[in-house]
Amino acid sequence: MFMLAAQEPVEASAPTTVESLDASYQSAEADYYEKLNAMYESGDFTDIEHPIETYFPKFRAFAKNENIPRGARAHAQIWCVKNFGEKNWTHPDKVFSGLAKLFTSEFADSDYALEFTAAMRRVRLEVAFKIEVIEALSNATNSEPVKAHCMLACAYSYADSNNQEMADITVDELMEKYPESKAAAAAGPLLVKRQLQVSKVAPALGGVDVDGKERHLIDTRGKVTFVVFWGFW
């Protein structure tokens, strides 16, 4: 006699790739904000859970799955980094440390590491811990572009935490070691920011005003001047 074990039913619409999971998350997130806006308009509020609570574990499972293509694992791991701050964590440093070590062990020498360093700026963690994670990647890689982007990520992390002194030291080291790198070219805003300090000479800003007239900041030297940056993204 043969006995068949009962199996859990498989959800027909369950995403089977990282791309389809990402698309499913985007749809769920759009639906979440639509419901949120409707509640604000009606004034009738109820508790609704952000989809990150459901989807983060799914992406994390993809990130650890050695049976899926390498690029898919990298995509899943970087997604977890980019969206890490959206989820509530009891021990965020411990969880993120595991994600970072997993990524570094496989992708430190790849172009995926460049995307990882860019994503690190969005992660809401203590700056000292962020620097530790980025430096661990820099020490593990043999890629000069990755090392340069690690320096850039550290400089931005210091700047975002208002540690201008360390931001300046780090960006100076970047410009000295990798002057022709893409990371050095992306450090422009940091170089401008260091000039926007009390006692510093403002950079030579220029542009066209709303009336089409060309304006230069140097023309207002000696006068109190407000410079407002704005745009559409």
pLDDT digits (tens, 9 = 90+) for 119-148: 998 888 899 999 999 999 999 999 999 999
Give the pLDDT of residue 219.
84
Under the banding of pLDDT at 50, 70 and 90, the label for residue 3 is very low
**Please, are residues 184 and 148 in contact by the beta-carbon 8 Å criterion?**
yes
Give the pLDDT of residue 221.
81
In a domain, 222, yes or no: no
Task: Specify the number of domains making up the chain.
Answer: 1
Neighbours of 29 (CB within 10 A): 16
In a domain, 12, yes or no: no
State the pTM of this model. 0.74
With a cut of 50, say whether residue 2 has pLDDT above it.
no
In a domain, 104, yes or no: yes
Give the pLDDT of residue 11.
46
The C-alpha atoms of residue 73 and residue 70 are separated, in whole angstroms, by 5
Give the contacts of 58 (CB within 8 A, at least 6 positions apart): 15, 21
Report the share of the chain in percent with pLDDT over 90. Answer: 62
Q: Residue 137, Cα to own-chain centre: how many angstroms?
A: 15
In a domain, 232, yes or no: no
174-220 pLDDT per residue, tens: 999 999 999 999 998 887 777 666 666 777 778 888 788 888 888 88
In a domain, 13, yes or no: no
Give the pLDDT of residue 1.
43
63-99 pLDDT per residue, tens: 999 999 999 999 999 999 999 988 888 889 999 999 9
The distance in angstroms from the start CA to the end CA of the chain is 67
Give the pLDDT of residue 38.
92
DSSP character at residue 198: T
In a domain, 218, yes or no: no
30-71 pLDDT per residue, tens: 999 999 999 999 988 899 999 999 999 999 999 999 999 999
With a cut of 70, say whether residue 232 has pLDDT above it.
no
Give the contacts of 44 (CB within 8 A, at least 6 positions apart): none
In a domain, 224, yes or no: no
For residues 150 and 198, which has the higher predicted lDDT (pLDDT)?
A: 150
**Phi, psi (rounded to 5 degrees) for 101:** -65, -40
In a domain, 148, yes or no: yes
Q: What value does the CA radius of gyration of the chain take, rounded to a whole number of Å? A: 23
Q: Which range of residues forms the domain containing residue 27?
A: 18-204
